[in-house]
Amino acid sequence: MEKAYKLLALKLGISNNKAKELIDSGLVSVAGKRLEVARKDLPLNTEFKVIEEKLEVLFKDSKVLAINKPVGVESYSLQDKFPDYKLLHRLDKDTSGVLLLSSDPDFIKRAKEEFKEERVTKNYLALVDGNLKEALEVTKPIGTKKGFKAQSFIKSHTSPKDLEYKSATSKFTPLQFLDNKTLVLANILTGRTHQIRVHLASIKHPIVGDIIYGKTKSNRLKLHAFSIKLLDYEFKAPINLQAEFDKEAMDSSKLL
């Protein structure tokens, strides 16, 4: 037996620190399930699968830079890769998909107003536990506990009392049943931390691979920011659903 990060470092020919970083970023799986603990003892013959980080530029002009963010990449780190640009919004580290930046001060100001007034259309694809049989809207207020790893809560008599709970609205539409799972289109009208994840968990349909709010383990969090419409711009971030979500999933080009 040996520590997971040491085995991975040996097999990939990288440093122990880099191996630990890959595991902590949610990019490493064993037997189809995400490896959550870098210091976990594993057999010497363990086979690892590493998700490749593919940072794709979808669009670029004088106002907007649209990126297809891969899993495991912090949104704020993109400002280091594109130093002339500022984030217009963010995605969770474990969420892939379209992310917008801008280098135009006037456009940044207009865009922030659009987000503030909830006039931005954001659509996500999620693979969830169980069969969501009909479209529904969830309007449960959400409070977030900040820290090394943020965690959000639905306002209830059992949730933490020292949090500020803000209104949140999510719309979920089932697209396809996959055995005991459902491919869901999620549209959020507000932008609370972990909003889609905590709202889906609250209706007993947590996202597959969600290690905070769900129990079904997978090689990654099955959540992808598929499209966004901001002012006169609209972008879609393609995803290979068969490879990333489920081998029986439909082609994302046919969804929206």
Q: Cite the active site residues.
A: 92
Contact 249, 183 (CB under 8 A): yes
**What radius of gyration, in Å, describes the C-alpha atoms of the chain?**
19
* C-beta atoms surrounding 64 within 10 Å: 22
Beta bridge pairs of residue 188: 122, 170
Tokens describing residue 37? 């603990």
Phi-psi region of 28 (alpha: psi -120 to 50; beta: other; left: phi over 0): beta
Q: How far apart are the first and last CA of the chain?
A: 47
Residue 42: C-alpha distances to residues 4, 5, 47, 196 (Å): 6, 10, 10, 33
Residue 234, C-beta contacts closer than 8 angstroms, at least 6 positions apart: 227, 228
Q: Rounded to the nearest 5 degrees, what angle is found at the Cα of 23, between the Cα atoms of 21 and 25?
A: 70
Say how many CA atoms lie within 13 Å of 148 toward its Cβ: 1
Q: Closest Cα partner for 172 from 149, 200, 191?
A: 200
Any idea which residue has 């630990």 for tokens?
Answer: 20
Q: What DSSP designation does 76 have?
A: G
Residue 83, C-beta contacts closer than 8 angstroms, at least 6 positions apart: none
